C-alpha cells in the first residue's frame, strides 16, 4: 500500500524575522511621551465647580473690563478652557462622521507612511518607489487640500470659533477677583502659550522618534 504523499513544509526558523513597516519602539515612545504630556497638563486643571461658580458671574462694566477679565481668567483656567475647546471640536467631528473619517485617514497616513515608517522599507505604489521627500510632499499637499479645499476645514474652523467664543464669553463674565495663580506659574502664560507648548512637546516627540529610526 502506497504511503500518502507528504506536503513540503518550508522552515523559516533559521531565516530573519519579518520586518514591520512601522517602527514599533519609536511609535511606543511617541505615545508614551504624548500620554505623559497630557497627564501633566490635566494635573494643572482647576476644579470645574470653581469654573461654574454662579456667585462669581457678573456683567463687566465695559469692554475694557471684559478684556481685562479675559486676560486674567485665561491663565488661571487655561487647561479647563482647552478641554472645553477640545470637547466642542470632538462633538463637531462626531456629528460629521465623514469628516472624522477623512481626518483619521490623513492622520494615519502621516503616522504609517512617513513619521514612523522604517527607513529600510521603501514605499512602493504601482511599481514606483517613493522617496521620503516625495512622500512628505504628497502628504503636505494632501493635508492642504483636506484642510483648506474641503468641508473639513470649514468644520474645524467653525468648531474652533465656537469653542473660543465660549471661552471668551466665560472669561468676560467670570469675575477674577478671587483667583490667584500659584507662585510657580508665571502670570503671562495664556491659552495660546499653553497650546503652543503642548504642540511643541508633541512635535519634538514625533520628530525625535523617526530621526532615531532613520539613522
Q: What integer pLDDT is reported at residue 134 of this predicted model?
A: 81
pLDDT digits (tens, 9 = 90+) for 166-196: 999 999 998 887 666 554 454 444 444 444 5
For residue 125, the SS3 value is: strand
pLDDT digits (tens, 9 = 90+) for 132-161: 788 888 889 999 998 888 888 889 999 999
Whether the model clears a pTM of 0.75, i.e. scores above it, the answer is: no
For residue 138, the SS3 value is: helix
Q: What integer pLDDT is reported at residue 86 of this predicted model?
A: 92
Q: What integer pLDDT is reported at residue 10 of this predicted model?
A: 47
Report the distance separating Cα 161 and Cα 89, nearest Å.
Answer: 10
Residues of the chain with pLDDT under 70: 1-27, 30-31, 118-122, 178-215
CA distances from 24 to 27, 113, 116, 206 (A): 5, 13, 8, 13
Sign of CA dihedral 36, 78, 207, 152: positive
Amino acid at each position: 500500500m502506497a504511503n500518502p504523499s507528504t506536503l513540503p513544509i518550508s522552515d523559516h526558523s533559521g531565516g530573519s524575522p519579518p520586518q514591520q513597516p512601522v517602527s514599533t519602539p519609536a511609535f511606543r515612545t511617541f505615545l508614551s511621551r504624548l500620554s505623559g504630556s497630557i497627564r501633566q497638563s490635566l494635573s494643572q486643571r482647576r476644579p470645574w465647580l470653581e469654573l461654574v461658580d454662579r456667585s462669581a458671574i457678573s456683567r463687566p462694566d465695559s469692554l475694557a473690563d471684559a478684556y481685562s477679565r479675559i486676560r486674567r481668567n485665561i491663565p488661571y483656567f487655561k487647561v479647563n478652557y482647552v478641554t472645553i475647546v477640545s470637547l466642542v471640536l470632538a462633538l463637531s467631528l462626531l456629528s460629521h462622521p465623514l469628516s472624522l473619517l477623512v481626518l483619521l485617514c490623513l492622520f494615519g497616513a502621516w503616522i504609517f507612511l512617513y513619521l514612523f515608517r522604517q527607513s529600510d522599507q521603501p514605499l512602493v505604489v504601482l511599481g514606483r518607489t517613493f522617496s521620503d521627500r516625495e512622500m512628505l510632499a504628497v502628504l503636505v499637499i494632501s493635508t492642504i487640500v483636506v484642510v483648506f479645499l474641503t468641508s473639513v476645514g470649514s468644520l474645524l474652523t467653525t468648531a474652533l470659533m465656537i469653542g473660543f467664543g465660549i471661552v471668551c464669553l466665560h472669561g468676560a463674565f467670570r469675575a477674577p477677583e478671587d483667583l490667584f495663580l500659584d507662585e510657580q506659574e508665571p502670570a503671562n502664560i495664556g491659552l495660546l502659550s499653553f497650546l503652543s507648548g503642548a504642540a511643541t512637546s508633541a512635535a519634538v516627540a514625533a520628530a525625535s522618534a523617526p530621526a532615531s529610526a532613520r539613522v
